[in-house]
């Protein structure tokens, strides 16, 4: 699994392929937003910044930070954000990431499937969707026949 900031950046990049105007904020902004949703002492523990209890300089020495309060607060945040999660596809974040194949957006995959269903030949689909062509040989799009078929469900053949 990638570190969380890398996963966040990959997700933002994936969204921006289909929506170029999508605001690309850093993982730090997401983290700050999380802290703003809980506020106060819980935000201090969540961010792990300095002293958890400002009025007691020795609290960290003699006690554990109240992570239970963080978990309780984030259950409330989860309820607050639930409408956003309800609208997402069920497998938006697959456990296992493919480490090969063309890097095409979900919008391109949907378009490839649609064009294939309407009877377009693979060379025309590549032209319409943006397959790269090389001057010295076949289109680069055709080099990835198996991985495109795996990712889109479109059978590519001669």
Q: List, for residues 56-112, the tens digit of each pLDDT value.
A: 666 666 667 777 888 888 898 889 988 888 877 777 666 666 566 656 778 888 888
Rounded (5°) CA angle 105-148-137: 105
Domain boundaries, the chain: 4-86, 106-152
Helix 27-38 with 4-18: angle, nearest 10 deg? 110
Question: Which is more confidently placed, 19 or 48?
Answer: 19
Q: Give me the chain's average pLDDT, please.
A: 75
- Which token pair is 145? 């026949």
Q: What is the pTM of this model?
A: 0.45
pLDDT at 58: 65
């Amino acid at each position: 699994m990638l570190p969380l900031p890398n996963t966040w950046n990959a997700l933002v990049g994936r969204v921006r392929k289909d929506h170029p105007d999508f605001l690309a904020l850093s993982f730090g902004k997401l983290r700050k937003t999380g802290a703003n949703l809980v506020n106060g002492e819980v935000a201090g523990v969540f961010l792990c910044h300095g002293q958890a209890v400002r009025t007691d300089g020795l609290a960290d020495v003699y006690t554990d930070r109240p992570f239970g309060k963080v978990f309780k607060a984030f259950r409330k945040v989860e309820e607050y954000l639930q409408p956003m999660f309800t609208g997402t596809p069920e497998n938006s974040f697959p456990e296992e990431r493919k480490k090969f194949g063309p890097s095409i957006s979900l919008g391109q995959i949907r378009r490839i499937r649609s064009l294939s269903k309407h009877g377009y030949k693979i060379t025309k689909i590549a032209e319409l969707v943006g397959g790269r062509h090389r001057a010295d040989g076949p289109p680069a799009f055709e080099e990835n026949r198996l991985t495109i078929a795996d990712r889109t469900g479109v059978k590519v053949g001669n």
